[in-house]
Structure 1
């Protein structure tokens, strides 16, 4: 370590973070090798340390902010707050996607004093792997472990979202709740593995019928499934479910104790609402659930449907 400046420069150049140092006016005084190489890889060719030094980093953020870059607005504000000692440090996570891949970075701003001058270190760390892992975990948290379709939590979120859209646009929204007929007898007769296989086959088929905008199927609980159909008339929804029942029959999942048929069948409650401020999505759930009860009471393997466009009166 005979030459401390050279040694420290080599240390900074070995880092994977992109590091720059600015003065109190925002002017870049130093950049490390990774900062330079990232610029070269992202449409700033032939940039060396000399080209970066003297550039006002805050002004560059301000230029991007004027073009509508929200993250540049936050970055410039955060850097200024650290320079003014309104906060000790600042960090910001932001996307920086390329045409080839999705990337996220974390920006950190800290400060130090050298002699009688204050300097501010700006580092950008690639956190893409962490963000992708977090996104994957969030995705798994919304999937049913057995059937690999959205779970009840995801159903609640999606229905709420579509209800809000339907209320704003005054479009109809439909909900179908499915219940596999005599499923307990299937489990008792053929075993739980056969029951699980049946649920997976049913979910896989239902998911194929959810491949359209504003539509999602989910495992509602046990042997019950749900299909949310935003911006869909009850006529279109009914036709879709009838098509699904035909496709389910074609699978011929054997069920000798099904009193409605010798194969697996399903009872369905289908409800439509045009949302208004006096109701929320539980109105649609309650209506569909009541219709499902009617379908089961009336012999199963049936679709009971109804539409309500006006709120029930409050007594």
Structure 2
């Protein structure tokens, strides 16, 4: 086991390290002499005391898996062992690694636990590639906000949750005023830069974890706000509108003012069985239409009421 290429360590029944192989030394930067005979193996992976997968198996504390690991097998899925994945701090080598971990028990002839073997695989590159692909799938390439696909999926999920809870769900649809004229005047590169500036404002002004700021399409943006009534939605919309105006991005072709401005439609609903997310989108879009046709650079809101 000492010469296995796979990083491996072994705990006895009392959770003391009895083997810490060369590959484990290379992965963690921790020499065997520092951990053999001790229960300090956690120091190789984390900055604060916590159980490793071998400890959980030895102690039978599988209820800790959810709180300690990003992903894991369920007890019984991997025969008598456990599998898990996690980001580890690796204090000695001073780098964060995503490790795939297997822990398996060794029993004596009487069925008593003698030892637990833990093996480790560095899956950091694969995990980072997976995260990058996931980001591409849910984020808009130009602005970094959520993309239309992510918006649609989130709205559907938030709609179902709001309907179960009998809670309000709000939506903002946001349009950059006279954006075609902006592109015609300043060119598409400046137009892209303008959209990125608007997205940065939205990122700063939409800060609740449950809310989602998205690029809806072209120069149009959207914000989904669960558990938010119309007054709250309008306040957020005004914050965004004012913050973009305060950027003072020149727009000499605007028919509204001399800078880049936004028009915003806000809509709120407590979803019912006879409605669907499209109703909320249509209501927000109608409010946006009213904002545009009443002078732009403003917020217009309305509540969607269920049919009697």
Asked if these proteins are the same fold (TM beyond 0.5), I'd say: yes
Q: Distance in 1 between matches of 2:297 and 2:217?
A: 19
Q: Distance in 1 between matches of 2:188 and 2:24?
A: 60
Q: Distance in 2 between matches of 1:244 and 1:308?
A: 22
Aligned residues: 265
Identify which range, 166-175 or 263-272, moves more after superposition: 166-175
Q: Distance in 1 between matches of 2:159 and 2:97?
A: 31
Higher helix share: 1
After superposition, what is the alpha-carbon deviation per residue over 1:32-72, rounded to whole angstroms, capped at 9, x for unaligned? 7258768996xx94249xxxxxxxx9997374355453677
Identify which range, 272-281 or 172-181, moves more after superposition: 272-281
Change (3 A) 1:67 1:148: closer
Q: Distance in 1 between matches of 2:201 and 2:54?
A: 55
Change (3 A) 1:173 1:92: same
The question of whether the paired residues in 1 share the 8 Å contact of 2:74 and 2:82 is answered with no
1:103 to partner: Cα distance: 3.2
Aligned to 2:185: 189
Q: Determine if the alignment matches structure 1 residue 74 to structure 2 residue 74.
A: yes
Q: Distance in 2 between matches of 1:226 and 1:157?
A: 13
Q: Distance in 1 between matches of 2:189 and 2:62?
A: 60
Q: Distance in 1 between matches of 2:130 and 2:62?
A: 31
Q: Distance in 1 between matches of 2:161 and 2:57?
A: 35
Aligned to 1:33: 21
Change (3 A) 1:307 1:99: farther
Q: Distance in 2 between matches of 1:106 and 1:197?
A: 44
Aligned to 1:286: 282
Q: Distance in 1 between matches of 2:86 and 2:274?
A: 39
Q: Determine if the alignment matches structure 1 residue 168 to structure 2 residue 164.
A: yes
> Aligned ranges for residues 128-139 of structure 1 at < 5 Å?
128-139=124-135
The question of whether the paired residues in 2 share the 8 Å contact of 1:187 and 1:195 is answered with yes
1:255 to partner: Cα distance: 1.6
- Partner SS, residue 78 of structure 2: helix
Change (3 A) 1:36 1:135: closer
Aligned to 1:95: 86
Structure 1: gaps (5+ residues) = 1-8, 21-29, 49-56, 81-89, 110-120
Aligned to 1:104: 99
Q: Determine if the alignment matches structure 1 residue 46 to structure 2 residue 41.
A: no
1:249 to partner: Cα distance: 1.8
Q: Distance in 2 between matches of 1:199 and 1:40?
A: 46
Larger Rg: 1
Aligned to 2:240: 244
Aligned to 2:261: 265
The question of whether the paired residues in 1 share the 8 Å contact of 2:214 and 2:222 is answered with yes
The question of whether the paired residues in 2 share the 8 Å contact of 1:40 and 1:47 is answered with no
Q: TM-score, normalised by structure 2?
A: 0.71
After superposition, what is the alpha-carbon deviation per residue over 1:269-291, rounded to whole angstroms, capped at 9, x for unaligned? 11001123333322221211222
Q: Distance in 2 between matches of 1:216 and 1:72?
A: 28
After superposition, what is the alpha-carbon deviation per residue over 1:86-122, rounded to whole angstroms, capped at 9, x for unaligned? xxxx99553374686563305499xxxxxxxxxxx98
1:175 to partner: Cα distance: 0.5
Structure 2: gaps (5+ residues) = 11-17, 39-52, 105-116
Q: Which runs of 4+ in 1 moved over 6 A?
A: 38-41, 57-60, 70-73
Q: Distance in 2 between matches of 1:34 and 1:273?
A: 61
The question of whether the paired residues in 2 share the 8 Å contact of 1:40 and 1:46 is answered with no
Aligned to 1:115: none
Aligned to 2:219: 223
- Partner SS, residue 214 of structure 2: strand
Q: Distance in 1 between matches of 2:139 and 2:302?
A: 29
After superposition, what is the alpha-carbon deviation per residue over 1:295-315, rounded to whole angstroms, capped at 9, x for unaligned? 2233332322111242x46xx
Q: Distance in 2 between matches of 1:59 and 1:253?
A: 58
1:187 to partner: Cα distance: 0.7
